[in-house]
Each structure stands twice: as structure tokens, then as C-alpha cells.
């Protein structure tokens, strides 16, 4: 009898569930559900970079996606599901009460954004991140040493401190803090005390400054010196962490019924989406995996011998077992990638949505269809025209910092730049510059890894853009001057979660065996155009100069 597993991938806008044959990786069904409150724009304020998500959204899409996916499978599949695993965005923490319940699940906090999960892209804690960095450099232990040497406003402690300072009601009720990827397994296994939540090696190593070298989390003295509001949280959090290949428990009777499964289902530990996505893409040492979406997350694994005592500067961390147990996981990424294209699209949509929408020349139904059709065709039309522009005419230079810079050297205060504009600059030329900027930002990350002694033999791209935009991927290949393989599945993160589910359930003894049996292979490989690669060297130097000028002028 075949055994099946379910991988749950929680992204920024939606979650997807895949039902997978644990023996060969065949995907039987996929269901994607959008977070209902998030779609309405609730609890977010882009003007101040506030992005919050309600835990009920996570529960709603969990039930809907799993049940829908199972309904598409042959009869008897649900009874033979043996494991389930989650990946989520990160760092996406929330304050809980003593039972481990997110405060927003309590009636008095149901509409309070500060009681909700603080999404990875929330940058309200820039001030707090700066304070953490300053204190780390003054302290006898630099707790950012294994996190690239720079703490980000996108991460756990900065966000927690910001919320504590901002909201007295949350401050009075908050007992502990949990990451989204830790809460989902706890929810399904019936954990009723925050101290019993299994903590993710991936989340804690990369975002909470947890490291066995200094006894786990930063010391109580450090946290209180940062702000007395953090007093006591360390003791109420955790001491140990676990890799995601280990079982957390089994589905409770309640959740087995709600999902249409059995209580025999093993729930695996949680991890961040891109880390499990790299596993789903069959990451191996010296492979640079790019998860390309609204932002990018870049993942590598390396042996203990290769990394040794080397501390890699300016990335998002190096953590033992955060990707594949028994190896060091390395993380980097860009704060904006697809989001940059989406921003430009919104700029161009303005006359359609603000002028055409008010027109009295056509009826409302035709008007709505016209606006929708035009908006849908903006990116394809820009792409078609941008591809025709010779690289020799790439005179517009942009930086990819519209949402700050994640790596190398995190700085969320940075803003994007577009320069070299003339009266002859067209929308396709600007779009091409933005595509090149995202590729240049990628090259800066690759160069940093190489400068720090990390060998890169191959590049793998996963995510929607990797599969759907040959123009972006060819530009990236040319700029990096490296071949890029594109993972065949469009659900690599969920497939990676399924591999962890299969390992935790005992189908495989280690994650590498699950990878070998369950990987999807590759849909396409892009080869760099040598002439283009040579031409981009000079343009990349201009990108670096514009970036240096922008950063210097902003902070001088």
C-alpha cells in the first residue's frame, strides 16, 4: 500500500497544500487558498511598513486547502497519509499567553494588529534593530556573529521589542513568543503550554540569535540591557531547538476530523519556506538555490569541514541543521524582487484605475473588463518590448532597494534609486533597468559568498518567476555568468515540506534519502550568453557605484 504525505507551504499571500506519494514524489493534488483577511488589506499599513496577519487566516486556509486537495485524490488516500509538515514565512513571530495561544485568538485582542503575527516584510522595527546591532558590538559576546554580523528589522527580537514598546495591552498580557512555523505543528498536536512548543532550529538559529556556543538565546543580562521590557521572556521561551526532520507528535482527534485524516498522521517540525524549498529543489553542497518571488531567499548547505570557524559576513545566518540536518545551512536574499516589478506595474496602472475608471464614455461592465485586461497585460507587454532593447542601450541604472536591503549587509533604511533617465526613457526601458537591478542585487550576494570562501558550482531557481519569466531568468544567468536550472515543480517549498513529513514519519531515515526519491527534476536550464555576460560587467560596476553613492549620501 502506498504511503502519502502532505506538505503545507505558507507564503506571504496564500497557503498551498500538496498531497504527495512518499515513495516517488508524485504530486496527487494541489490546493491554493488565499488568506481571507489579508486579501482585504486588514491590519496592514504600507505607509509605515506595517504588515500583520491574523492567526485565524492560517487556520482557515489550512482546513480549506487540505480538504480540497484530499478531495481531488483517489479514494483511500486520506487513510494512508502518514505525515504532514509545514513551512512558513519568517521571521513571522507573535506574542502568546501561557498556553501558547496567539493573543489575537483571544476575544479582547481579536482586532489588535500588535497581537497578530508580524509578517517577515514588516519593517516597523528599524529603530529596535539598530539598537540590537549597537549593543551586540559593545557586548562581550556578539550575538549576531552567526547571523551575518548585522541584525535586521525583519527578525524576531526587533519585532518583539517594537510591539512591546508600542502596545501596553499586549505588553501586559504577553507571556511568550512563537514563530509561525513553530505554532502550526503545536496547534495540530494539541500543545497547551508555551513551554511545550517544539522550537525550530531553522527559525531560532537564523532569527533569534540562538546558538549552542553561548548557551542558546542571548543572556538575560543582554536582553534587559537592550530594554527592561524584555525581562523574563528568555526564561519563558526555550533552551533547545530541533531540526525539522523530527516528529513533533501526532494529529489530535479534533484536527484529524477537521482535516479529514487519521490520528496516525505524524506532524513534523516546522521551518522557513525557503529552507524547505531548497530541500524540495534537491539542494546539495555548492548549490546556490534561489527562491524567487516577491522577494528572494537564497539557500546553501555546506559541510562542517568546509565552513570550519569561518563567519560569513553580511548574510542572514549560518546555522547547523537549519536546512539539512548534519550540514550548515546558509541563508541570504533580497528584500524586493517580484515586488519591484509589481510596484512599477501599479505606477502604470494609475491612469487606468483613477481616470478610465471614472469615464462616462463606456458602460460599467465594459469599463471593468477593459481595465482588468489592460492591467493583466502590462508586465507581458513590458517584457516583450524590454527584450528587444540591446544591452548596449541599457543606460538607465536602478538599485533593487525599494524595500530596503536584506543582503549583503542588511540595511532596511535604504531606498531604491533610478538614474540615467532622459526624455527618451520609455516604460520598457525603465522596466528593463529594474529587471537588471534585481539581477545585479543577486550578483552582489553571489560575490559575497565567493569572497567569503563559499564555493558555488551551480544555481537552481524555484518559484513563480523562475518558471514563468524567461526574460528575467536569462538576464539573471547573463549577469551571474552562470547556468541556472529551474525546478520542474511550481510548489518546491511544499514538496520540500512533504519530504520532511516523509522523513519524520519514518518512510526515510534521513532527508537526503527523501530528496533522492521524491525530487521533481528540472524543467529548463538557462545558459549565459557570453557576450551579454561580458557587457554586463561594466553595467554592474555602474550599479555598484550608484549604490555606494546612495548609501553614502543617505548616511553622511
Q: 83 - beta bridge partners?
A: 5, 266
Instruction: Quote the number of domains for the chain.
Output: 1
Residue predicted with more confidence, 554 or 386: 386
Work out the end-to-end distance of the chain between its first and last CA atoms, rounded to an integer number of angstroms: 67
In a domain, 277, yes or no: no
Cell reading at 348 = 502604470
Looking at residue 482, what is its pLDDT?
96
Instruction: List the beta strands (DSSP E) in 61-198.
Output: 81-88, 93-96, 117-118, 176-179
pLDDT score at 150: 92
Any domain includes 409: yes
pLDDT band of residue 309 (cuts 50, 70, 90) is confident
Mean pLDDT of 146-160: 94
Range of the domain at 369: 338-488+523-555
Q: Is residue 11 part of a domain?
A: no
**Residues 409-441 pLDDT 10s:** 988 889 999 999 999 999 999 999 999 999 999
Per-residue pLDDT, 554? 66
Q: Which is it for the CA torsion 142, 147, 151, 155, positive or negative?
A: negative
Strand partners, 85: 7
Instruction: Identify whether 458 is part of a domain.
Output: yes
Mind listing the pLDDT tens digit for each residue in 522-537? 999 999 999 999 999 9
Q: Does residue 171 belong to any structural domain of this protein? A: no
For residue 30, is it within any domain? no
**pLDDT one-digit tens code per residue, 6-45:** 999 999 999 999 999 999 999 999 999 999 999 999 999 9
Average pLDDT over residues 486-503: 95
CA neighbor of 430 nearest in space, from 474, 467, 463, 383 = 383
CATH code assigned at 419: 3.30.420.40
Count of residues making up the chain:
556
| Predicted pLDDT of residue 129 | 96
pLDDT at residue 136 is higher than 60:
yes
Whole-model pTM above 0.85?
yes
Give percent of the chain above pLDDT 90.
92
pLDDT in tens, 326-366: 999 999 999 899 999 999 999 999 999 999 999 999 999 99
Q: pLDDT per residue over 268-296, tens digit each?
A: 999 999 999 999 999 999 999 999 988 89
What was the pLDDT predicted at 556?
Answer: 46
d(CA 105, CA 96): 9
Would you report the helix, strand and coil content of the chain in percent, each value rounded to 5?
Answer: 45, 20, 35
- Report pLDDT for 64: 97
In a domain, 313, yes or no: no
Give the model confidence (pLDDT) of 69-120 as tens digits: 999 999 999 999 999 999 999 899 999 999 999 999 999 999 999 999 999 9
pLDDT at 211 over 70: yes
What pLDDT sits at residue 555? 58
Q: What are phi and psi of 417, to 5 degrees?
A: -135, 140
Contact 43, 37 (CB under 8 A): yes
In a domain, 413, yes or no: yes
- Burial per residue of 86-121, b for 16 or more beta-carbon CB atoms within 10 angstroms, e otherwise: bbbbbbbbbbbbeebbbbbbeeebeebbbbbbbbbb
Residue 473: band (very low, low, confident or very high) from pLDDT cuts 50, 70, 90:
very high
Q: What is the pLDDT of residues 536-548, one digit of tens each?
A: 999 999 999 999 9
Amino acid at each position: 500500500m502506498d504511503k502519502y504525505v502532505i506538505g503545507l507551504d505558507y507564503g506571504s499571500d496564500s497557503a498551498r497544500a500538496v498531497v504527495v506519494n512518499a515513495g516517488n514524489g508524485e504530486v496527487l493534488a494541489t490546493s491554493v487558498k488565499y488568506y481571507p483577511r489579508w486579501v482585504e488589506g486588514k491590519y496592514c499599513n504600507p505607509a509605515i511598513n506595517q504588515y500583520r496577519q491574523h492567526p485565524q487566516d492560517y487556520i482557515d486556509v489550512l482546513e480549506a486547502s487540505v480538504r480540497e486537495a484530499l478531495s481531488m485524490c483517489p479514494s483511500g488516500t486520506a487513510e494512508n497519509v502518514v505525515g504532514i509538515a509545514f513551512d512558513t514565512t519568517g521571521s513571522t513571530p507573535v506574542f502568546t499567553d501561557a498556553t501558547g495561544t496567539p493573543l489575537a485568538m483571544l476575544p479582547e485582542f481579536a482586532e489588535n494588529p500588535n497581537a497578530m503575527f508580524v509578517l517577515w516584510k514588516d519593517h516597523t522595527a528599524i529603530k529596535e534593530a539598530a539598537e540590537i546591532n549597537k549593543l551586540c558590538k559593545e557586548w562581550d559576546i556578539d550575538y549576531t556573529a552567526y547571523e551575518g554580523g548585522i541584525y535586521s528589522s525583519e527578525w524576531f527580537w526587533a519585532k518583539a521589542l517594537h510591539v512591546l514598546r508600542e502596545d501596553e495591552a499586549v505588553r501586559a498580557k504577553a507571556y511568550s513568543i512563537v514563530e509561525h512555523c513553530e505554532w502550526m505543528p503545536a496547534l495540530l498536536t494539541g500543545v497547551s503550554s508555551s513551554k511545550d512548543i517544539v522550537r525550530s532550529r531553522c527559525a531560532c538559529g537564523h532569527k533569534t540569535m540562538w546558538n549552542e556556543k553561548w548557551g542558546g538565546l542571548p543572556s538575560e543580562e543582554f536582553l534587559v540591557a537592550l530594554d527592561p521590557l524584555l525581562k523574563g521572556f528568555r526564561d519563558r521561551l526555550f533552551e533547545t531547538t530541533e531540526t525539522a526532520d523530527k516528529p513533533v507528535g501526532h494529529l489530535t482527534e479534533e484536527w484529524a476530523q477537521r482535516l479529514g485524516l487519521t490520528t496516525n498522521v505524524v506532524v513534523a517540525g516546522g521551518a522557513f519556506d525557503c529552507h524547505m524549498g531548497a530541500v524540495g529543489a534537491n539542494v546539495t553542497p555548492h548549490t546556490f538555490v534561489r527562491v524567487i518571488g516577491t522577494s528572494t531567499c537564497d539557500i546553501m548547505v555546506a559541510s562542517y569541514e568546509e565552513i570550519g570557524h569561518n563567519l560569513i559576513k553580511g548574510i542572514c545566518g549560518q546555522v547547523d541543521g537549519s536546512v539539512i540536518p548534519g550540514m550548515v545551512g546558509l541563508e541570504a536574499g533580497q528584500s524586493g524582487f517580484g515586488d519591484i516589478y509589481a510596484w512599477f506595474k501599479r505606477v502604470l496602472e494609475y491612469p487606468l484605475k483613477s481616470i478610465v475608471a471614472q469615464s462616462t464614455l463606456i458602460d460599467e461592465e465594459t469599463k471593468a473588463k477593459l481595465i482588468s485586461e489592460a492591467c493583466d497585460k502590462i508586465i507581458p507587454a513590458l517584457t516583450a518590448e524590454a527584450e528587444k532593447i540591446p544591452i548596449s542601450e541599457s543606460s538607465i541604472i536602478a538599485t533593487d532597494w525599494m524595500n530596503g536591503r536584506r543582503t549583503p549587509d542588511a540595511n532596511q533604511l535604504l531606498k531604491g534609486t533610478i538614474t540615467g533617465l532622459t526624455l527618451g526613457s520609455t516604460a520598457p526601458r525603465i522596466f528593463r533597468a529594474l529587471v537588471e537591478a534585481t539581477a545585479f542585487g543577486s550578483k552582489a550576494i553571489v560575490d559575497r559568498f565567493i569572497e567569503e570562501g563559499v564555493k558555488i558550482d551551480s544555481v537552481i531557481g524555484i518559484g513563480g518567476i523562475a518558471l514563468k519569466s524567461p526574460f528575467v531568468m536569462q538576464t539573471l544567468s547573463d549577469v551571474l555568468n552562470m547556468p541556472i536550472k529551474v525546478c520542474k515543480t511550481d510548489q518546491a517549498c511544499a514538496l520540500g515540506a512533504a519530504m520532511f513529513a516523509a522523513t519524520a514519519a519514518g518512510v526515510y531515515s534521513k532527508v537526503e534519502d527523501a530528496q533522492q526519491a521524491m525530487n521533481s527534476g528540472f524543467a529548463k536550464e538557462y545558459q549565459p550568453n557570453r557576450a551579454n555576460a561580458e557587457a554586463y560587467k561594466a553595467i554592474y560596476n555602474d550599479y555598484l557605484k550608484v549604490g555606494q553613492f546612495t548609501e553614502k549620501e543617505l548616511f553622511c
